[in-house]
Amino acid sequence: MKANKNLRVGIGFDIHRFKKGRKLLLGGVNIPFKLGLDGHSDADVLLHALCDALLGAMAKPDIGRNFPDTDPRYKNISSKLLLSRVMGMVCKEKFNLVNVDCIIITDEPKINTFSDKIQTSISKITGLGKGSVGIKAKTTEGILSFSGKGIAVYCVALLEKN
């Protein structure tokens, strides 16, 4: 079987601790909850993982090297803006985004009721149709060491060379 060199897949992972006094943003959507996520930017763990998946598919350095948390320009920056910049890189490298699939891992808050809004938000930022954006919410069943302490996300992205 001959490999298709025009297709590139990337995987992204990110995890953030909960923190009092911050908004909880997932996929660019404000989720009503008593805690937000800690981070240099707005700490949208889902969009960070998606950025890393896209960057990985292009064999580029990760989000931390592209937008370092030591740079004051990125303090409290919107992760939607970071994803838009990564999408600019995708276009500059002459790729088309085919689809993304994301798994959000947290025991609370319950995410399933927000999945459609998150899907719509990511669709708008990336230009994908909603049918090409997968969002799944999973719990840890209380057995992982970070259970109740934060949110972890895995994302995969498929790019096709123009």
Q: Which residues of the chain have pLDDT under 70?
A: 1
Per-residue tokens: 113: 């009721």
Quick one: pLDDT at residue 22?
A: 97
- Residue 28 is which amino acid? G
Quick one: pLDDT at residue 122?
A: 98
Domain boundaries, the chain: 7-161
* Residue 44 zone, left/alpha/beta (φ > 0; ψ -120 to 50; rest): beta
CATH number for the 7-161 domain, one of 3.90.79.10, 3.30.1310.10, 2.40.50.180, 3.30.1330.50?
3.30.1330.50
Tokens 């993982």: give the residue: 49
Quick one: pLDDT at residue 1?
A: 65
Per-residue tokens: 75: 């303090």
Give the length of the chain.
162
Q: Are 12 and 154 in contact (CB under 8 A)?
A: yes
Q: Which tens digits make up the pLDDT trace of 65-91?
A: 999 999 999 999 999 999 999 999 999
Quick one: pLDDT at residue 131?
A: 97
Tokens 């969002």: give the residue: 135
User: Could you give the CA distance from residue 150 to residue 62 in angstroms, rounded to a whole number?
Assistant: 21
Quick one: pLDDT at residue 142?
A: 79
Quick one: pLDDT at residue 141?
A: 86
Quick one: pLDDT at residue 20?
A: 97
Could you tell me the end-to-end alpha-carbon distance of the chain, in angstroms, rounded to an integer? Answer: 22
Residue whose C-alpha is closest to residue 13's, from 102, 78, 85: 102
DSSP state of 131: G
